[in-house]
Amino acid sequence: MDHPAIKVIAMPSDTNPDGNMFGGWIVSMMDLAGAVEARKVVHNNLVTVAIDNIVFHNPVFVGDCVECYTKMERIGRTSVTVKVDVFVQRKDRSKGDLKEKVTEGSFVFVAIGADRRPVPIVP
Ligand SMILES: CC(C)(COP(=O)(O)OP(=O)(O)OC[C@H]1O[C@@H](n2cnc3c(N)ncnc32)[C@H](O)[C@@H]1OP(=O)(O)O)[C@@H](O)C(=O)NCCC(=O)NCCS
């Protein structure tokens, strides 16, 4: 497995009022990780136009090391689609170290010009 685009520790401030990890925080990490991948081919400004097929497979807990792995799925005329897979690494006293997939989704980014309209991606 390649290096993650983003690696961060889940903090208490990232939880919702019930104490569970706030899904929107995970999605924002995925959006940033997807943008890191998209910037490898898009040299204009980028905006996120769509987020597809997000699935939260397993919970994330405070203290988990959250890692976002990215893969370029499609390079279109003005947009790129990046698959983001999120794993956590967790220290568990009884079970030992654990690494498991928690979330996945596809992020579509569009290259835009100064007028905020889509512009072709120049290889
Ligand atoms: C992104 C934006 C400039 C696109 O404008 P648009 O008029 O829809 O542009 P187009 O129809 O020409 O589509 C541009 C590209 O986006 C893709 N696209 C547009 N809507 C899409 C969708 N819902 N899902 C997947 N791809 C989409 C198109 O397929 C096209 O890709 P391609 O050129 O590689 O084939 C405009 O929708 C926008 O400004 N949205 C707000 C973006 C933003 O603020 N994001 C942050 C969210 S908080």
CATH code, 11: 3.10.129.10
57 in any annotated domain: yes
122 occurs within a structural domain: no
- Number of domains present in the structure of the chain: 1
The DSSP string of 23-86 is HHHHHHHHHHHHHHHHTTT--SEEEEEEEEEEEE-S---TT-EEEEEEEEEEE-SSEEEEEEEE
User: Which structural domain, as residue segments, surrounds residue 41?
Assistant: 6-112
User: Per the domain annotation, does 120 fall within a domain?
Assistant: no
Question: Does ligand 1 have an atom closer than 6 angstroms to the CB of 48?
Answer: yes
Separation of CA 41 and ligand 1 centre (Å): 17
Q: Assess if residue 87 is contained within a domain.
A: yes
Against a cut of 0.85, is the pTM above it? yes
Q: Is the CB of 27 under 6 A from ligand 1?
A: no
Number of residues written out for the chain: 123
Check if 110 has its Cβ closer than 6 Å to any atom of ligand 1: yes
Residue 121 lies in a domain: no
pLDDT digit string (tens) for the chain, length 123 residues: 689 999 999 999 999 888 889 999 999 999 999 999 999 999 999 999 999 999 999 999 999 999 999 999 999 999 999 999 999 999 877 878 899 999 999 999 999 999 999 999 987
Q: Check if the beta carbon of residue 70 is closer than 8 Å to that of residue 89.
A: no
